[in-house]
Structures are given as C-alpha cells and as structure tokens.
Amino acid sequence: MKLKLQLVLALASAGLFANNAIAQNAKVSSIEGTTPFGPATQYRTWSIGVGAGVTNQTNIAGFNREGYDDLAWNLGYSAYIKKQISPSFGIKASYFGGKTGGAFKDGTQSFEAKTPWSAALSGEFQAANTNWRFFNSFIKPYASIGVGVMNSKTTLTTGSTSQEADGISKIYVPLDMGFKFAVAKGINFELGYQLNWVNQNFDGIRGGQYKNDLFTYIHGGLEFALGNGSKPALNNSNPVATLVNDYTLKYDDLKAQNDALNAKNQALQNQLDGLNSDLKDDDGDGVANKYDKCPGTPSGVQVDGAGCPIVVKNETRVVEKVVVTEADRKVVADAIKNLEFDLGKATIRPTSYATLNKVAELLIEKNFSLKLAGHTDNTGSRELNMRLSKERAESVKAYLVSQGANASRIEATGYGPDQPIASNKTADGRQQNRRVEFTLY
C-alpha cells in the first residue's frame, strides 16, 4: 500500500511541477487555434509521439498481482502516430516494447517477461480541449483505451530452476491516462500512467487466480505535430479559446477605429469652438470681436467696418447717380478671380492683396457702395459653413477698410451653402461654390 501511495504522489508532484514551470514561461501561442468554425484543413491533424519509462507488476488498483509483491523496475519504451479527428478526440496506432518482472517476497519464485513488440489501436480523449473552464489551460488531462497484439517471451524461475517459455502473440488492452503540457507550438510534453491487460501466461503462471495478467508502464515523452508549421495543431486547439481570441482581435480593431473617429471628432469640435470664439460679438455692433477695433460700443451707435463709431457731420450732400462701367466691373472680377483664403480659414493670402487694393482705390475714387456675399460648398455642417462664409466676407471688408475704403458703404453677408452656382457632387463644382461675390452699386 505504501508503494502505491508513493507512485500516485510521484506522478501528481511531477504534474504540478511541470504545470508551474510552464505557466511561468509558456506563451499564448502554445494554445493553438484559427478562425472559429473553420474546416479541419486549417489545422495540422497528424502527430507522432515517443516516450520511455519504467514497468512493474503492480498497479494503483491493487489487483491481478498473482503474489509478485517484490517489484522489479524495468525499462519500457513506446511510440505512436495519431490522427486527430476533433480538438478533443483522436485515434492513434501505438508501439510498446520493454521488459517486465517481479518476484515473491519469500524469494521462491520470480519471472521476467520480454516484450520485443506490441501494436495497438486506441481512441484518445483530451478533456481540456472541450471544457470552456480550461480553454486557456496549458495542462491537458488525457485518457485513451484501445486493443492490440502483444508479443512476449517469459522466463519463470522457481528456486534455482529457470524455464523459458516460447514467445507468444496475444491480444492485450492498454488503458493510458495522464497529462499533456503545451510547451511550444505543436509540441506537447507527456506524463502518463498506463495499465496493460495481457494474456494469462504473461507472468509465467498458467491458470492463475486471474483471467488476465496486468502490468504498469509509467512514462514520459514528447508529442510533435506533423505538417506545415504555420498551421495550428488540432490536438492543441480549443474551440472556446479560438472563439475568444477571434472576438478579442475584432474588438481591438473596432476599438482602435472608434478611438481614431473620436479623436477626429474632437479636432473638429475644437475647430468649431475656435470659430465660435472668433465670430463672437460682445458689444452687439455687428462687427465680430476678432475685427472690432473699438470694443464696448454702446448699443445703437452706427459703426464702421472696424467697429468704431461713425462721426456724422452736418453738411449738405449732393447725391449723384452712380454709374458702374465695364472697367469697374473688370477690377472687381479680377479681385474675385484672385481672391484666395487659407484652407478652412478666413485668412486672406498675400497673393490677393494687389487686386483687392485696386478695388479699395475704386471705392475711394468713385464713392461706390459694395456688397460682399460669402458662399461655401455643402461639405461639413451647415452651421460651420454659415459662420465661415460670414467670416470670409467680413475679412475682405476689414481689408478694404484698412486700405481707406468707407466701412459704411460696405456690407458683408454670409450665405453658407444655400446659394450654389454649381453641383456639389463634383470637386470642380464644390470649388466654384466656395467664393466671395462683389457687387458694386
């Protein structure tokens, strides 16, 4: 009983030690999977395994011993090739060879059974590959059972007499259980405890107490997935882990897109806040703070384009008929043609100054009145376009006033996208709609 307990504790301790070591060093890539619900062709489904360990005539259940209580530890070795049918089930063809022995405690009898070869076909089940609670586990409990043929040759020693039986090949049943550890992509380390039900003559005692003899094979080994290394191994794949990984990747991608969209919206909001600040008119004189050189003008006072009060002198004025010539219209047309602003702003580019100067000279010389109408395309919000068109018209007015034009004779209005002269469906049409119109009268 003490020996049974030692065997169980040794196997459990080895499993816990390996689990701790692997949990500290293993990477997520050792838990393999691809797109959820994908076909088996996305995986490597074939694998091979090799192992070695010790055999003896005892077992943790304590039966089929035939009195051989003095155990002999001998070498055993094994190999298999496996076809994985699903993440949790595979079929394997296995080989086992080695030597098994034991003796009575009183020393009167002993046996030694050599196993040159054995071949079995087994079904193997891996619990961790189907249980969602262990979907990210590096420890994979497994169990397999099968049937095969074992070739053995036994030597029975009674006292000082040894008798070697002829080699026989009989059906046997291997039951294997243990743990697999996903140490790397496509590679598992195995610790196993295998019970083998063999023919009744395996230990040399014919017609003994039990119908079949039984021996134990405690082993460790490695399993390697075969095929293209870029593909995951089906025997290390868990459908739940694959689904969670696919969901996580898609969630991260959507989150990144959402973060980028939020950042862009914030930038637009900041730009809109800046425009609101620029167009604010605290004293209500009709001139935005940005262009108002005389802030705080009392309500109802008439102001010029710079926001300063207009001094009205009592004098007799002679009203003359205003005549706008073709030459005057050409000056205005050139100014419109050459008028350019910084992108998305109301800042006039220096290249426009020369033609605007001619318009200012014309207003001063002939005392014309001028209406400035700002227009935009329909890109962006209507509120933003209304403010931008108004701001650009005001910017032109302020420049003409700075060149000596009479601010009271210049009217600046913004119409936003409401009066297009071309289709907004094309880039050329939108370019035509972004304009400031000059009307002399």
The predicted pLDDT at position 42 comes to 87
pLDDT at residue 285 tops 90: no
Closest CA to 176 of 139, 140, 207, 217: 217
The predicted pLDDT at position 48 comes to 98
pLDDT at residue 82 tops 90: yes
pLDDT at residue 269 tops 60: yes
The chain-wide mean pLDDT, for the chain, equals 82
Strand partners, 121: 93, 147
Yes or no: say if 189 and 99 are a contact pair by the CB < 8 Å rule. Answer: no
Instruction: Give the C-alpha separation, 358 to 236, whole Å.
Output: 81
pLDDT at residue 145 tops 70: yes
pLDDT at residue 52 tops 60: yes
Return the minimum-mean-pLDDT range out of 127-136, 338-347, 369-378. 127-136
Tell me the pLDDT tens digit for each residue of 217-226: 999 999 999 9
Which pair of structure tokens corresponds to residue 356?
């605007």
Which pair of structure tokens corresponds to residue 416?
């936003």
Sorting pLDDT into bands at 50, 70 and 90, what band is 150?
very high
Sorting pLDDT into bands at 50, 70 and 90, what band is 278?
low
The predicted pLDDT at position 63 comes to 64
Tell me the pLDDT tens digit for each residue of 304-315: 777 788 765 555
Mean pLDDT of 33-50: 82
Closest CA to 392 of 363, 417, 414, 369: 414
* Amino acid letter, residue 219: H
The predicted pLDDT at position 143 comes to 97
Report the share of the chain in percent with pLDDT over 70.
81
pLDDT at residue 363 tops 80: yes
pLDDT at residue 270 tops 80: yes
- Which string of DSSP letters, residue by residue, matches 179-206? EEEEEETTEEEEEEEEEEEE-TTTTS-T
Strands 213-225 and 187-198: antiparallel
Most confident listed range (162-166, 307-311, 314-318): 162-166
Yes or no: say if 91 and 83 are a contact pair by the CB < 8 Å rule. Answer: yes
Instruction: Give the C-alpha separation, 437 to 414, whole Å.
Output: 10
What are the residues whose beta carbons fall under 8 Å from the beta carbon of 349, sequence distance 6 or more? 340, 341, 342
14-23's contacts with Cβ under 8 Å and 24+ in sequence apart are 14/191, 14/220, 15/139, 15/178, 15/179, 15/191, 18/139, 18/179, 18/181, 18/189, 18/191, 19/138, 19/139, 19/179, 19/181, 22/138, 22/139, 22/181, 22/182, 22/183, 23/138
- Which string of DSSP letters, residue by residue, matches 118-171? EEEEEEEEESTTT-GGGTT-SEEEEEEEEEEEEEEEEEEEETTEEEEPPPEEEE
Which pair of structure tokens corresponds to residue 150?
């074992």
Yes or no: say if 360 and 377 are a contact pair by the CB < 8 Å rule. Answer: no
Yes or no: say if 290 and 397 are a contact pair by the CB < 8 Å rule. Answer: no
Strands of the sheet with 410-414, listed across from one edge: 410-414, 370-375, 435-440
- What torsion, rounded to 10 degrees, do the Cα atoms 59, 60, 61, 66 define? 30
What are the residues whose beta carbons fall under 8 Å from the beta carbon of 128, sequence distance 6 or more? 134, 137, 139, 140, 141, 238
- The burial of 41, by beta-carbon neighbours within 10 Å (0-12 exposed, 13-18 middle, 19 or more buried), is given as exposed
pLDDT at residue 179 tops 70: yes
The predicted pLDDT at position 262 comes to 92
Phi and psi dihedrals of 263, rounded to 5?
-65, -40
Sorting pLDDT into bands at 50, 70 and 90, what band is 191?
very high
The predicted pLDDT at position 22 comes to 36
Instruction: Give the C-alpha separation, 396 to 406, whole Å.
Output: 13
Tell me the pLDDT tens digit for each residue of 204-245: 877 666 678 889 999 999 999 999 988 888 888 777 666 666
Instruction: Give the C-alpha separation, 387 to 372, whole Å.
Output: 14
Mean pLDDT of 412-422: 90
pLDDT at residue 273 tops 80: no
Mean pLDDT of 190-199: 94
pLDDT at residue 25 tops 60: no
Closest CA to 77 of 219, 180, 187, 176: 219
Instruction: Give the C-alpha separation, 149 to 171, whole Å.
Output: 4
Most confident listed range (17-26, 34-43, 177-186): 177-186
Taking phi over 0 as left and psi of -120 to 50 as alpha, with beta for the rest, 127 belongs to alpha
Sorting pLDDT into bands at 50, 70 and 90, what band is 66?
low
The predicted pLDDT at position 312 comes to 59
Chain centroid offset of residue 200 CA = 59
Sorting pLDDT into bands at 50, 70 and 90, what band is 168?
very high
Instruction: Give the C-alpha separation, 211 to 352, whole Å.
Output: 110
Residue tagged 């329909």 (tokens): 378
Yes or no: say if 97 and 186 are a contact pair by the CB < 8 Å rule. Answer: no
